[in-house]
Structures are given as C-alpha cells and as structure tokens.
Amino acid sequence: MKKQLIVLFCAMLSIGAIAQTNEHALGLRLGGGNYFGAEVSYQRGLSNTNRLEADLGLSSYSNGSGFNLAGIYHWVWNIEGGFNWYAGPGAQIGSWSYKSGKDGDRSSGVYLGLGGQVGVEYNFEEIPLNLSVDTRPMFGIGNTYNDFNFGISFGLRYVF
C-alpha cells in the first residue's frame, strides 16, 4: 500500500509538470453558494503549475446588500489537452446587511471565511476563452450569515 501511495504521489507531480496556466484571465464566476450569485474574477499565473485567483462579489437585493472579496492559491494539473483540474487553499472577507420584511429588523455583519477551491477548466486553443466549474467550500469566522458556505460555480474568463 505504501508503494502505491508513493507511485500515485509521483504521478500527480509529473502530471502537474506539464500543466499550462494562463498568464492573465479576467471574467465572471457565476453561482458561488449562499452569499453571492456573481463575482468578477481575475487569475494571475505564477508559473506553469501555480496561480492566484481574486474574486470580488457585490450584491444588492430588496432586503439587503453586501460584498465579498476572495483570494485563492491554485495548483493546476493537466488532464488532457486544454482540460485541467485545480485545487488550493483560500480565504475571503466580506460584509452583509439584511432587513427583515415583516418587522423591519436589521442585521449585519463582517465575516472572514477560510477554506479552499477545487474545480475543472477548459482552455480553448482557437479563442482566448477559459471555462470552469468549481466549488469553494468556506467556513465562516465572525459574524457570519452562515457558518459554512458551499456552492457550485461556473466561470467564464477572457485569457490574455
């Protein structure tokens, strides 16, 4: 069993060696869980196998508003061709404000989230476009709306 784990670990490292991250990618991340339905997303490649992602979500609706800023470090592994999968740790900070419709009570808070992100992506060779599907489970710390945030998101980014 120990030899199998060592072989699997070495295989994952060798797969990561041929992954290609984009130097820059800018777009939208739609979905995202309990707090925000859309985020402006920016990715900055650090090497062929690592990158940083920063996402800013702003929301305004009839009973409240808020913002969310997330930062994630990704390791990227190539599956085949333009398909990659990625994972890494991250954190987010934000605020929210909510007004109850029945009695007009207000509540608000500032929160910190710690967790990570894992997903798959496809980089088109013919056009500068990156599509992704991922999840970003985060544990809320502080005055959070929910203690745990989890959701599936779809990303659409222009690569430059």
Domains and CATH numbers, the chain: 2-159 (2.40.160.20)
pLDDT at residue 15, rounded to an integer: 45
Tally the C-alpha atoms within 13 A of residue 58's C-alpha that lie toward its C-beta. Answer: 1
Residues with pLDDT less than 70, the chain = 1-19, 32-36, 101-104, 143-146
pLDDT at residue 31, rounded to an integer: 83
First-to-final CA distance of the chain:
44
Instruction: State how far the Cα of 95 lies from the Cα of 109, in Å rounded to an integer.
Output: 6
pLDDT at residue 117, rounded to an integer: 96
Is 0.85 surpassed by the pTM of this model? no
pLDDT at residue 71, rounded to an integer: 97
pLDDT at residue 60, rounded to an integer: 75
pLDDT at residue 8, rounded to an integer: 43
